[in-house]
Amino acid sequence: MPDGYTPWSKTFTVSAICPDTLPSTVAGASFVMPDCLGNPGRVSLTNEGGVIWTLTRGGAVEVVAGNSSYDVTPGAAVELTAQLEGPEGSWTWGDPQQQMLWNQAFPAADDDCLPTLAFTGASLRNTRLIETEALPSQRVDRTVRIGFSGGNLYGR
C-alpha cells in the first residue's frame, strides 16, 4: 500500500428481498355443483404466473395446472391449495388478503331431485298438462309431469 494510505473496511447492509421488484400474482377458484342431470361437479382455477395448485379429491393429492377445470364426483369433498412458485421470495401475492386454501363439498343429488324446467315464449293460461321425458343424453330416468291449475304450476 502506498505511503500515507491506511486500510479501512465498510460493511453494507441491504435487504435480502426488495418487495417492490418481485413479480406479483393472483389466484382464484370457482365451483359448480353436480346437477340432477348427472353432470359432475367442477373446480375451475384461474391465475397469473407463479402459482402452483394442489388438488386433493377422493384422498388423492395431485399437483394440477392453473387456468384449467377439473371434474369432481358427486358426494366427494375437495381441498385446494394455491402456493407461490420457486424459492421463497421469488413471487409475492398481488393482494395481501389472497385466499390460498379452499375446502368444498360436492353433494350427491337427492333421490327426488327434479331438473329445472323452463317455459319460454308461451302462455300457461290454457295449459292443462304437459308430460315430458328427459333425453337419453341427460341421463335422467324419470318422466316429469307438469300441471297448471288455478293459476299455479305444479310438478310430480
* pLDDT averages per 10-residue partition of the chain, 156 residues: 76 60 92 90 96 93 96 94 89 94 91 62 52 48 58 58
Which pLDDT value is given to residue 150? 60
Q: What pTM does this model have?
A: 0.60
**Does any domain span residue 79?**
yes
CATH assignment at residue 88: 2.60.40
Residue span of the structural domain in which 134 resides:
114-156
Euclidean distance between the first and the last CA atom of the chain, given in angstroms as a whole number = 101
**Does any domain span residue 3?**
no
The torsion of the CA quartet 41, 46, 51, 53, rounded to 10 degrees, works out to: 0
34 CB-side CA count, 13 A:
20
**Does any domain span residue 29?**
yes
**Does any domain span residue 134?**
yes
Residue in 77, 105, 93 with CA at minimum distance from that of residue 28: 93
Looking at the fold, whether 35 and 96 belong to one and the same domain comes out as yes
Number of domains in the chain: 2
